[in-house]
Amino acid sequence: MRRAPSILHLDLDAFFAAVEQRDKPSLRGRPVVVGGTGGRGVVATASYEARAYGARSAMPTAEARRICPPGTAFLGGRFAAYRRTSDVVMALLRELSPLVEPVSIDEAYVDLAAGDHDLSVPGVTALALDLKARIAAATGGVTGSVGVGTSKSLAKIGSELDKPDGLTVVPAGSELDVLHPLPVRSLGGVGPATAERLAQIKVTTIGDLHRLSLVDLTTLVGQAHGTGLYRLARADDDRAVVTDREAKSVSAEETFARDLTDPARLTAEIDALAGRVGSRLQRSGTSGRTVTLKVRRYDFTTLTRSLTLPQPVDDARQIAEVARRLLGAVDRSGGLRLLGVGVSGLSPYAQGDLFAQALDEPTEVTEQPEPLPTDPAPGPAVVAWHPGQDVVHTGLGAGWVWGSGLNRVTVRFEGPRTAPGPVRTLRADDPDLQPADPPDWTTPDGG
């Protein structure tokens, strides 16, 4: 915790709904729910009018429809409009300080100590009131709640304390007085599971939490989490405001209107998801080594399967082939509710680069390892091997490409069905190695 209340947290009030009410005057004063409007949609944001009837974020939209009165507007959301409005607000924050950390589209921290400000309580109070007025003016009436304190944790709690359109300044020295009466759920990192564990030992407020020993707390909730909560209960939080965070993963997922079983449909969905992930990776100039498939079954059981390749990929087709292979080893009987495709282990390197190094081969930065010539020449076809591709080798059997370098290819030969088998590195022009049709996983046996 710092010596002055120099951390500001801004949380825009019912943001998506507020933008809708701003842009459509007929919605003002009426309950508005923004989110998925289909049968399986959930609420992203409920206006304060809708909250009065019990509508909440993450609630199934179907339930919100039951509890909200006739005349409630259910909207699908216009993300470009939200993004534009958010950008206006973030620009105002950057006028206060170069150290602005957007947490999400409607939330950010500002380190006022990096600007030229009076950090007394009256000083930051005046600053925050002025900020709120300028946000409302610049956005056409969208309001925000502001907390100012000596740490991120206190600033965030402050912005929650007086919503909507609120302001709370927590003076240095008064942190524990503010924290201790609050429920443990007010602390970042305490969700339903942790709150339940704490409740079982009669810990419900942050004051209760303060009385637990470090050993008891880490025994209860784990080393890292326990240590973090121990410190937060003491207002011991020196986390910095971080302006730029590198993304660590990129993913796309989709819940289907009806559960899918048709293999062709599932394949098409994977291709579409991989396409979204691949283009986002390429746009950001990154690629990643680990491809993850997420599956939610008809009964909502959810699992992930991942595979780490020897070199990063950003190509949609290659991501899709790996994801399809992972799906082939999952029990699809009963139907799938959701599919997701993700890439993690991101690095700024181009595809192929790392693997060439890993194979201790000369790295030709300016030359792509693929494609090799593909003229319809007589003899064994020269092919550009790519991860996920199905192959067959005379003698070694069926497998699939795990990685490829300038003139070598690493193949995972299969055990039963799509289980990972032994890995062999072969010459890329090995005449015994040929592309093959993908394994048949259309029978719903689960593999």
Partner DNA sequence: TCTGGGGTCCTAGGACCC
- Cα 321 from Cα 81, distance rounded (Å): 35
Q: How far is the CB of 382 from DNA (least distance, A)?
A: 29
Minimum distance from CB of 436 to DNA (Å)? Answer: 22
Q: Which is nearer to DNA, 130 or 238 (CB)?
A: 238
| 80: contact with DNA by CB under 7 A | no
42 binds DNA (CB under 7 A): yes
Of the candidate residues 342, 352, 387, 403, the single one contacting DNA (CB under 7 A): 342
Asked if 115 touches DNA (CB under 7 A), the answer is: no
Closest separation between CB of residue 120 and DNA, Å?
Answer: 28
The answer to whether residue 222 forms part of the interface with DNA (CB under 7 A) is yes
Beta carbon nearer to DNA, 115 or 335: 335
The catalytic residues are 107
Task: Candidates 224, 268, 358, 419: give the one binding DNA (CB under 7 A).
Answer: 224
Q: Establish if 193 lies at the interface with DNA (CB under 7 A).
A: yes
Between 272 and 291, how does the x/- string for binding to DNA read (CB under 7 A)? ----x---x--------xx-
Select the span of 130-138, 140-148, 202-210, 295-303 touching DNA (CB under 7 A): 295-303
Q: Phi/psi class of residue 286: alpha, beta or left (left: φ > 0; alpha: ψ in -120 to 50)?
A: beta
Q: Using the rule CB under 7 A, is 216 a contact of DNA? A: no
* Least gap, CB of 416 to DNA (angstroms): 15
Reply yes or no: is the peptide bond before residue 371 cis, omega within 30 of 0. yes
Footprint on residues 371-410 left by DNA (CB under 7 A): none
78 binds DNA (CB under 7 A): no
344 in contact with DNA (CB under 7 A): yes
Choose which of 252, 323, 401, 406 interacts with DNA (CB under 7 A): 252
The amino acid at 348: P
Among the listed ranges 84-92, 117-125, 303-311, 434-442, the one in contact with DNA (CB under 7 A) is 303-311
Binding status of residue 133 toward DNA by CB under 7 A: no
If you compute the radius of gyration of the chain from its CA atoms, what whole number of angstroms results?
A: 27
The residue (of 251 and 434) whose beta carbon lies closer to DNA is 251
What is the distance between the alpha carbons of residues 390 and 320, in angstroms, rounded to a whole number? 13
Q: Which residues bind DNA (CB under 7 A)?
A: 36, 39-42, 44, 57-58, 60, 62, 65, 103-107, 156, 187-195, 222-225, 245, 247-255, 257-258, 276, 280, 289-290, 300, 302-308, 337-338, 340, 342, 344-345
